[in-house]
Amino acid sequence: MIKVGKGLYVADTAVIIGNVTVGDNVTIMDSAVIRADQNSIKIGDNSNIQDNATIHVDLDCETVIGKNVSVGHNAIVHGAIVDDDVLVGMGAIVLNKAHLRPGTVVAAGTVIPENFESDGNCMIAGVPGKVKRTGEQYFTMAHLNSLEYLKLNKDFREGKYEIMKGNRHE
């Protein structure tokens, strides 16, 4: 069963399947896929799932995405726990049973291996992902990114942007 909060923006080309709970003011952009066919997915308030991102589960791994989280373009979060105020960069992959703590920034293209436990307030990069730096600035970076998408959520819901699909303008 799909449960959604208030202030949700879901692009027409995004897909939500199965046992998914979505909080308030969540933004789900074009061609994102949120597929909870084998377990549950929870997405917290004010989070954003950007274009072409995939959120999926495994039989023994639910996916939980906290509040104020940004999942970047083409990123994959699969059977993982992502705490509040985390930024998963473009094209990053977060695998089963990984746990990203508050203030974690995952660099673009990083692969977070299974069972990985991040420190809070850190930047992770590489294949496989490793903590490269720590500091409060990473919490701030993740939180501010989520606020940018919160503004976009409102703009999209209010029809601020012209959208063209094929030969059709909206």
Query: From CA 53, how far away is CA 96, in angstroms rounded?
Result: 16
Number of domain units in the chain: 1
CATH code, 66: 2.160.10.10
pLDDT digits (tens, 9 = 90+) for 88-145: 999 999 999 999 999 999 999 999 999 999 999 999 999 999 999 999 999 999 999 9
The answer as to whether 124 is a domain residue is yes
The answer as to whether 168 is a domain residue is no
Instruction: Supply the range of the domain harboring residue 97.
Output: 2-159
Burial of 113 (0-12, 13-18, 19+ CB in 10 A): middle
The answer as to whether 105 is a domain residue is yes
